[in-house]
């Protein structure tokens, strides 16, 4: 169920888990993490690059360790952000329910999961959706005009959902890749460290 905002965040001191292919990580990812950290008074945000995402292939031939390294370099200078190899090092497809279970063991103070509203709306296509929705609170990032009313289905009523108070951003990893292939310039779209790594490894050509 969607819960109202409160003066003291019910997610205070929890660890935010931010999963994605990060192919590549871009400035909107950083903005979302920063807003989640402050709005919900999280202890920190952990970025979790997918190893083998079950819903889509890792395109452009960018292997997991390159995507991990882009995230690692982007987070330098952000003391409340970390990157985890939990999905990269796990064999088989990267299922969110498995990741949440693993991270809850590491962080007994509690976790929450940051995800685009457009993705969670399709929760029935995820592994073990009934268990997933009750596994931890979810922070929904506004995407593609998705309305809160779309999360009033019975399955979502069993969960704890919060909407991130942030302007919807059009920037995406596919947009970054397309722009780089067309212009070879992604200034302002990704952190400088990510742009340098893309150039160093000759990615997305």
pTM: 0.93
Are 198 and 54 in contact, with CB atoms under 8 Å apart?
no
Q: What share of the chain is helix, strand, coil (3-state, %, to 5)?
A: 40, 15, 45
**Ordered per-residue pLDDT tens for the chain, 205 residues:** 555 555 679 999 999 999 999 999 999 999 999 999 999 999 999 999 998 876 555 455 688 999 999 999 999 999 999 999 999 999 888 899 999 999 999 999 999 999 999 999 999 999 999 999 999 999 999 998 899 999 999 999 999 999 999 999 999 999 999 999 998 789 999 999 999 999 999 999 8
Q: Which two tokens stand for residue 32?
A: 């979302």
Domain boundaries 15-201, CATH class: alpha beta
């Amino acid at each position: 169920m969607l819960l109202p905002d409160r003066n003291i965040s019910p997610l205070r001191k929890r660890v935010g888990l931010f999963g994605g292919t990060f192919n590549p990580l871009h400035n909107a990812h950083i903005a979302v993490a920063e807003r989640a950290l402050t709005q919900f008074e999280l202890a920190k945000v952990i970025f979790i690059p997918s190893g083998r995402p079950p819903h889509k292939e890792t395109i452009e031939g960018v292997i997991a360790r390159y995507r991990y390294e882009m995230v690692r370099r982007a987070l330098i200078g952000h003391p409340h952000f970390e990157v985890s190899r939990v999905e990269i090092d796990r064999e088989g497809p990267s299922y969110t329910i498995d990741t949440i279970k693993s991270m809850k063991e590491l962080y007994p103070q509690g976790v929450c999961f940051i995800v685009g509203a457009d993705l969670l709306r399709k929760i029935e296509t995820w592994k073990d959706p009934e268990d997933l929705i009750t596994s931890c609170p979810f922070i929904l990032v506004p995407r593609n005009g998705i309305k809160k009313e779309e999360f009033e289905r019975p399955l979502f009523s069993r969960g704890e959902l919060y909407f991130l108070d942030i302007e919807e951003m059009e920037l995406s990893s596919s947009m970054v890749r397309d722009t780089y292939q067309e212009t070879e310039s992604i200034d302002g779209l990704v952190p400088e460290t990510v742009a340098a790594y893309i150039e160093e490894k000759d990615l997305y050509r």
